[in-house]
Chains A and B, each alone.
Chain A
Amino acid sequence: MRLALAIASFVVLIVHGAVFYDQFFYRWERHQTAYFEQARALTKNAAEKTELENRSPKIEQYIVTNFGETRVDRCGTCHIAIDDPRFAGHAQPLKTHPYSAAMGDVERNGHWERRHKFTDFGCTVCHGGQGRGLETKYSHGEDEFWPEPLLGYVTQPNWRKDFAPKLKGKEYMEANCAQCHTQQDFAGTPHVNRGRKLFYAMNCYGCHKIDGMSEGTLGPDLTEAGKKFKIDYLWESIVEPRANLATSFMPKFNLSEDDVRALVIFLKSRRGVNFAETEMDRYKAHVANVPVVIPPGTENVKAGEQLIAERACTACHKLRDKDGGIAPDLSYEGLIRDNTWLMDHFKNPRSRIPDSIMPTFRFPGDDFDRITTYLVSLKTPPPPVAPAETFKTLCERCHGEKGDGNGKVAWYLDPNPRDFTKAAFMTSKPRERLVHSIQEGVPGTSMPPWKNVIAAQQVDGVLDYVLATFTRDTLHAPKARSIPETNPVPAGDNSVRHGEEIFLARCTGCHGRKADGKGPNSLDISPKPRNLRNQFFVDSVQDKRLFESILYGVQGTAMPSWIDYGLTRNDVGDIVNFIRSMNQKSRSQQNAGN
């Protein structure tokens, strides 16, 4: 018993002592004592000597209220010699903060005078880190949960080892300089300026929004990227867009390391609305600011080619051997689209393909003209080869090598490419329709008209190849059905109203209340329900086909045969009138808008 008591009391004493030591004997006290001693040795002034003898270690702090929330920067507690020029050659933490003429420090009568005085600016405004911390781990932000480690000096232990070393360097501090020095082309922040130029030159602005600078909506809003993310995350997101979100469709830009660094620094400097950058004029000036330098006298075709290369179009699109793996192939664009189509599509990609994800880019008008001229000049069809080859070069990118509509860009296309393995669909359609889809394309979708690219016999060959390889069935003769050639119900207010009632009662579950094909059930359905507001598609489809699809369903899809559910021919006529009137209305609205 007594032995146990003796041991216990000693353990208590030791623990107590350890806690006492830990709580009352600080590293910074040792740094300060060392400083006092060395300063005493350096001074010849008797008064200063006695003063230094009387000084005892204490927490030194700058309280800064000028930059957002009040900052309490206790960095001077360890780094007590930052303002003592005699310690310039000393080791950290007792080292003078360097003076730099570039930062505005002035040398007068042998004394340097700082432009950014510690009493006014503190430390963390420029350096980051945790100002209140009194232990290296916390004050330098080495703790992985601290959002702002010392910028450019400290990497946190959970950062990716492969590029953590690249995240060190003074230049990262420019992101903090740019919080106050918001001027474009401010000489002190070359990396921020370069990053800002890249943000436009690499078309980042097409997808990402930064208040006052861009309006993209496809990617995350980057207005406060610098506040939300550490530089490690920013670097990773640029270099490997899918590292954090497997479904991200951001392209890999394969930038040089210096460009990535400039972009990271630029993004780190984005911490919310910057009043200097909210004006629309500035935004427009920006876009015009990043011209692709085209030597004078270059013909438009050449200039367009250069623009496509320098505006990073092939980060998404395919052009010959360059393939971004996100958007359609442009190699035969001159045979597929014409001038008007391309210009409309540039000005607003959704004007021709209503569900396209292509961003609206704000290039100067001339650039669009040049790119269009170049694309229209791409008129060399591929050499005629065996159907399997043709499928591989032209179809596989969207329809997939298994023909299941799952090509590498299929995920980004809406509507999805047709799945050829669904035999019920493929065999229930007349051959003429399938041939027509290949030759004329499907308006309002990414299926282009191929008639100028591949000859008619070749189309037959490819179709036979698809049916034999993927569908593994031959076409059946279409069933005899009684379908009117044109809508027998005359269009009129009553008919449209009745059609709308039926539509709301029966169709919205899949086609959605807006008839855009995004109803609640659409998530589980493949192929997706048709977007009935895609006016180019709806206009291209004749009444007969609408009647057939509604009355007898679409085989191989989730569209049921509504004649079995009690819809009459007249009901269907009303629905067709409703769908047509809806698209008529949106077209007249668009025309009024233009």
Chain B
Amino acid sequence: MPVTQKQVEEPVGRRRILLWLSSVGLFGSAVLSAVSNLVFIKPRATYGQPTRFSIGKPDDFPSGTRISLDVKRVCVVRDGNKLAAISTTCTHLGCIVGISDTGFACPCHGSRYDQDGNVTGGPAPKPLPWYKVSLAPNGEVEVDKGIQVPPGTYLNV
């Protein structure tokens, strides 16, 4: 009965291949849609101000000054050749902290910080974060609020 066996076997082989092809197709599209759904969860565009921004030339910040940029919510500290940016958003409830003789002071609930942003009093739970500062190719200083650096990290300009 070799003839009949061949007749049965052939369609089975064909069926296998077709089955295999369809599963690859369907499974592949399932994987692709899963991946695209996962990618969609995190939007590419954000609607806030950009986290990376330029604050001007290093010369705009003379040595020994602490200049608070309220719109950007950072305080630029310049000491000799060293430059750093400290957040001025209070870690308690998000008010803008002001510069005081001893460091920073929050007008809302009286939190106090020292020159480096460490908490010295009031309800604030955490020290003020320091942000990454870099020098852009056009000679301006860029602050990236998306990247925090350990306190005491300065940029040499």
Contacts and interface: CB of A to CB of B under 8 A. Distances in A.
Interface in A201-215: none
Interface stretch (B28-36, B105-113, B114-122): B28-36
Interface stretch (B18-26, B86-94, B95-103): B18-26
A109 to B, nearest CB: 8
Main secondary structure of the interface of A (DSSP, over half): helix
Given A9-B25, A74-B45, A83-B136, A2 B19 contact: yes
A2 B18 contact: yes
B29 A63 contact: no
A97 B45 CA distance: 23
Contact of B50 (A13, A61, A85, A111): A61
Interface string B49-93: 110011001000000000000000000000000000000000000
B137 interface: yes
Interface in A1-42: 2-3, 5-6, 8-13, 16-17, 19-20, 23-24, 39
Given A6-B25, A13-B28, A24-B39, A48 B134 contact: yes
Given A6-B18, A9-B22, A16 B33 contact: yes
A276 interface: no
Nearest to B48: A63
A344 interface: no
Given A2-B18, A23-B36, A48-B134, A60 B50 contact: yes
Nearest to B49: A63
Contact of B18 (A3, A16, A58, A113): A3
Given A13-B25, A58-B44, A84 B136 contact: yes
Contacts of B28: 13, 16-17
A274 to B, nearest CB: 28
Contacts of B22: 2, 5-6, 8-10
A465 to B, nearest CB: 79
Contacts of B49: 63
A468 interface: no
A112 B138 contact: yes
Nearest to A2: B18
A5 B21 CA distance: 9
Contact of A111 (B18, B32, B45, B138): B138
B21 A10 contact: yes
B29 A111 contact: no
A13 B27 CA distance: 9
Given A39-B137, A60-B50, A16 B44 contact: no
B15 interface: yes
A6 B14 CA distance: 11
B50 to A, nearest CB: 6
Interface of B: 15, 18-19, 21-26, 28-29, 32-33, 35-36, 39, 44-50, 53-54, 57, 134-140
7 contacts: A6-B18, A9-B24, A9-B25, A10-B25, A16-B28, A23-B36, A43-B137
Interface of A: 2-3, 5-6, 8-13, 16-17, 19-20, 23-24, 39, 43, 47-48, 51, 58-63, 72, 74, 83-86, 108-109, 111-113, 117, 119
Given A13-B24, A111-B138, A112-B138, 18 more contacts: A2-B19, A6-B18, A9-B29, A11-B25, A12-B25, A12-B29, A13-B26, A19-B36, A39-B137, A43-B137, A48-B134, A48-B135, A58-B44, A63-B47, A83-B54, A83-B140, A84-B136, A85-B138
